[in-house]
Amino acid sequence: MKKQGTARICVPVCVSRASEIAPAIARAAEVADIIELRLDCLTEADFYEVERHLAELLQHSPRPLIFTFRPAEQGGQRELGQKKRFDFWCSEGSKLTKDTARYVDVELDAALFLAKAEKYLGTTPDWSRVICSYHDFIDTHSDLEQIRERMNRTPARILKIAVQADDITDCLPVLQLLESARRSGREMIVIAMGAAGILTRILAPSRGAFLTYGALDEKQKTAPGQIKAIELRDLYRVHQLNHQTEIMGLVGQPVGHTFSPYIHNAAFAARGMNAVYIPFEVHQLNEFMNRMVDPRTRELEWKLRGLSVTAPHKQAIMRHLDWIEPSAQEIGAVNTVVVKDQTLLGYNTDTDAALAPLRDVIELSGARVAVIGAGGAARALLWILRDRGARVTVFARSVERATEAASKFGAQCERLGGASFGEFDLVINATPLGTRGYREDETPAIASQLRGARIAYDLVYNPRETRFMREALTAGCHTLGGLDMLVAQAAAQFELWTGAEAPFAAMREAAEKAVMSDK
């Protein structure tokens, strides 16, 4: 079995023309430990050309190769009849596995056929170079162990199971397959596909998986939730992760837009820590907290040390905590969880961080401030603005829902629809409207509403310039984005989790780079 901490990143090459294979392999080799050549991506004519010249075409590959001929129902790029696949593996399987730097990925049905027909075939593949694979893009099965047992009937040395994850807890049975494989002496590749399964792509190699897949770029992703190979290598540092790695992560829905992994992983690297920060796409918070977080009930053995919490879970997570700092308790929202021994501690680092961009542009005492929204971020703002002596009005679509938060912190409350902000010194968007991938083209206020306001501040940090900010610029406002707040609250979280001083400069630099690369 592969030792923990010796990860392999496999980069799929999926091109349609034979002439594109060699340059694509050369590009993939820059970041890959192993390369998968997806023969099903080729056009019919190019496939036959490649098949005739396969050995000579690929003999100079700079990395070990996996050959895959996947049917559409198993995630392939075109329809492939069963006979066509079986005939291909019968004729080519032995040739492709003669070289010790080559593997073949054969679907479970074809592997069972080859194993059964072995005595009738003139040649057979070297089963030590065979990956027997199973894919389901619809569901995470409850009978994954039964599927693995079927795969064990083949002589394949490496087994691969990839299934769709609808929520993060679907990762649990997938990762548990690695323990079963360890007991049986088989190598295994496990993947929970989709945004909810990202943690399996990052952590599985450190738990013994044969490899993990990373895309060459955004356009070349061959499965849902696939991360870019360069991010696996440089951002998540999968080659350095092991069973002792401490784990932190962002709990939210959605989390695909977040810059937090860039900021926190840069901090861990700067401090030389064996730690990683992962986005956790969580739909069912209760299940996640009980089955994966709480040390007294969780079903996963991992060194989870802390969580960032974002929308929509900042308030709901409080019921799962053993202790909450008084200010966060009064705010009614937690954005940071520390796992300490057998307990879960809650904090809110949004309060001071939210004021970081404002220190040099406005005196808050006596200032007229409009806060748009009434969720967890808004509540943190209301608490700190009250503390600084600002005169605050909350604007929300539902006044009935927002009145409780407003009155608790001594603020007025008005309906957002048709509101005018011209009399305010500061207008703050504390809603997720405008976030990359989340109603990105929307804004809680337009230029005509903002005209006359002095400063417009958007807590959204991705994209760097939101529609709200563009509308504010048109209205003549001074504008501020949420990146400074993000870095400030992340630095406070780092110190709570680790007890070490946050490397603020490295975190800020990582945030700036993430902004530039996301354009």
Last-in-domain residue among 237, 257, 272: 237
394 part of a folded domain: yes
Strand-by-strand arrangement of the 187-193 sheet? 187-193, 158-164, 130-136, 102-107, 65-68, 34-38, 9-13, 212-215, 227-228
Q: Residue 4: its pLDDT value, please?
A: 47
Query: Is residue 460 located within the same domain as residue 496?
Result: no
**Non-local CB neighbours of 231 within 8 Å, separated by 6+ positions:** 214
Mean pLDDT for 11-33 is 93
Counts of helices then strands in the chain (DSSP H, E): 19, 21
Alpha-carbon distance of 516 to 510, in angstroms, equals 10
Residues 37-65: tens digit of each pLDDT: 999 999 988 988 887 777 666 677 899 99
Residues 352-381: tens digit of each pLDDT: 999 989 989 999 999 999 999 998 889 999
Q: Residue 492: its pLDDT value, please?
A: 97
Output 385 or 399, whichever has higher pLDDT. 385
Structural domain that includes position 377: 355-481
Query: Is residue 275 located within the same domain as residue 329?
Result: yes
Query: Is residue 35 located within the same domain as residue 95?
Result: yes
List alpha helices for 185-271, DSSP H. 198-203, 229-230, 260-270
97 part of a folded domain: yes
Report the CATH number at residue 295: 3.40.50.10860
Alpha-carbon distance of 8 to 208, in angstroms, equals 11
Last-in-domain residue among 213, 237, 261: 237
197 part of a folded domain: yes
462 part of a folded domain: yes
242 part of a folded domain: no
Residues 322-351: tens digit of each pLDDT: 999 999 999 999 999 999 999 999 999 999
Among the listed residues 188, 206, 208, the one whose alpha carbon sits nearest the alpha carbon of residue 133: 188
Output 218 or 281, whichever has higher pLDDT. 281
- In the set 98, 228, 314, 519, the catalytic residue is 314
**Farthest CA pair distance, the chain:** 88
Binning pLDDT at 50, 70 and 90, where does residue 266 land?
A: very high
Query: Is residue 326 located within the same domain as residue 232?
Result: no
Report the CATH number at residue 465: 3.40.50.720
In this structure, how many other beta carbons lie within 10 angstroms of the beta carbon of residue 504? 15
Query: Is residue 431 located within the same domain as residue 452?
Result: yes
Query: Is residue 201 located within the same domain as residue 263?
Result: no
Query: Is residue 69 located within the same domain as residue 196?
Result: yes
Report pTM. Answer: 0.90
Query: Is residue 428 located within the same domain as residue 329?
Result: no
Residues 456-490: tens digit of each pLDDT: 999 999 898 999 999 999 999 999 999 999 999 99
Binning pLDDT at 50, 70 and 90, where does residue 1 land?
A: very low
Query: Is residue 253 located within the same domain as residue 382?
Result: no
Binning pLDDT at 50, 70 and 90, where does residue 292 land?
A: very high
Alpha-carbon distance of 214 to 232, in angstroms, equals 7
Mean pLDDT for 9-14 is 96
408 given a catalytic annotation: no
4 part of a folded domain: no
Mean pLDDT for 205-228 is 91
Alpha-carbon distance of 309 to 95, in angstroms, equals 52
Query: Is residue 145 located within the same domain as residue 47?
Result: yes
206 part of a folded domain: yes
508 part of a folded domain: yes
Query: Is residue 265 located within the same domain as residue 144?
Result: no
Query: Is residue 447 located within the same domain as residue 342?
Result: no
Beta pairing partners, 36: 12, 66
- Residue 422 above 80 pLDDT? yes
Q: How many domains does the chain have?
A: 3
Contact criterion met (CB below 8 Å) for 152 and 184: yes
Report the CATH number at residue 202: 3.20.20.70
